[in-house]
C-alpha cells in the first residue's frame, strides 16, 4: 500500500514538473526578442581595453581609441558586449567608458558633417535648460558642443564663440553638419543662438526654455532675418 502511495506521489510530482516546464517554454517562446542591432557605442576615454569576458581579470584581446565607433551587441551590468572590428569579433568593455546610442552607426562615407547630424538627431525631444550640456538637458550651444566633442572635435562653449570655430560658410553653401548662428535681433551683430544645419533649409537646435531639441526651418521670417552665417567644423 505504501509503495503504491509513494508511486502516485512521484508520478504527481513528475507531472507537475512537466507542466511547469511546458508553461515556461511557451512563455519564453512568445517573448519579444530584443534587437541589439540598433545600438552603437562611442569610446569616451583615450584608450579602452576590450576583454574576452565580462570580468576585470579577463584577458585583454583588443584596444580601442577615443571616439571609436562600435556596434553594441548587448548590455550587462557594468559591461557592454561590442563588435569591435569589421569582421564582427566580439568582446566586452566597461560601460563607464563607452557612450551608447540608439540607431545605426553614422555613415562617414557621406558628407563629413552627416555624422554630426545623425548624432544630434538622437537627442530630439531632450528638454532645453539654460546652461545644459548633457544628454539629459541642453541649451543651444551645449548641444552643439556635446555632439562635436563626441566626434572628437573640440569647439567653444557659447554660441558667439562657436561662430569663431571652423571656417566661414555662406548661406548658399551650407552642408549638413554646419553650424548656423543667429543674431539676438536683426543686424545686432551679437550671436545669441546657434543650431546645426541638416539640409533642405532645416536645422536641429535647442530653441529656448519650455521647448525641446527639434527641427526648425531657417527660412522662416524669424530666423532668416537674424541669420549671422555658417561655420564648417568637419572639412
CB 143 within 8 A of CB 205: yes
* CB proximity list for 44: less than 8 A, separation 6 or greater: 66, 97, 98, 99, 150
Compute the chain's Rg from CA coordinates: 26
Question: Which sequence positions are flagged as catalytic?
Answer: 140, 193, 205
Strands (E) across the chain are located at: 39-43, 47-51, 60-65, 69-76, 79-83, 90-94, 98-102, 133-134, 137-138, 167-169, 179-183, 191-199, 202-205, 214-217, 227-232
DSSP letter at 130 equals T
DSSP letter at 59 equals P
Amino acid at each position: 500500500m505504501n509503495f503504491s502511495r509513494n508511486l502516485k506521489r512521484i508520478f504527481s510530482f513528475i507531472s507537475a514538473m512537466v507542466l511547469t516546464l511546458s508553461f515556461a517554454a511557451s512563455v519564453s517562446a512568445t517573448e519579444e526578442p530584443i534587437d541589439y542591432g540598433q545600438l552603437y557605442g562611442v569610446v569616451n576615454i583615450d584608450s579602452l581595453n576590450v576583454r574576452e569576458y565580462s570580468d576585470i581579470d579577463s584577458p585583454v584581446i583588443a584596444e580601442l581609441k577615443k571616439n571609436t565607433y562600435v556596434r553594441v551587441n548587448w548590455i550587462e551590468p557594468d559591461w557592454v558586449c561590442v563588435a569591435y572590428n569589421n569582421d564582427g569579433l566580439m568582446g566586452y568593455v566597461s560601460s563607464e567608458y563607452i557612450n551608447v546610442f540608439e540607431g545605426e552607426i553614422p555613415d562617414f562615407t557621406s558628407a563629413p558633417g552627416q555624422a554630426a547630424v545623425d548624432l544630434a538627431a538622437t537627442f530630439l525631444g531632450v528638454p532645453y535648460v539654460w546652461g545644459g550640456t548633457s544628454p539629459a538637458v541642453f541649451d543651444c550651444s551645449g548641444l552643439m558642443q556635446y555632439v562635436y566633442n563626441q566626434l572628437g572635435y573640440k569647439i567653444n562653449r557659447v554660441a558667439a564663440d562657436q561662430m569663431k570655430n571652423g571656417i566661414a560658410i555662406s548661406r548658399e553653401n551650407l552642408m549638413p553638419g554646419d553650424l548656423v548662428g543667429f543674431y539676438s535681433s536683426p543686424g545686432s551683430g551679437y550671436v545669441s543662438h546657434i543650431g546645426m544645419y541638416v539640409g533642405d533649409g532645416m536645422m536641429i537646435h535647442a530653441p529656448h526654455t519650455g521647448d525641446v531639441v527639434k527641427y526648425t526651418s531657417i527660412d522662416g521670417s524669424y530666423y532668416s532675418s537674424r541669420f549671422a552665417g555658417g561655420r564648417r567644423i568637419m572639412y
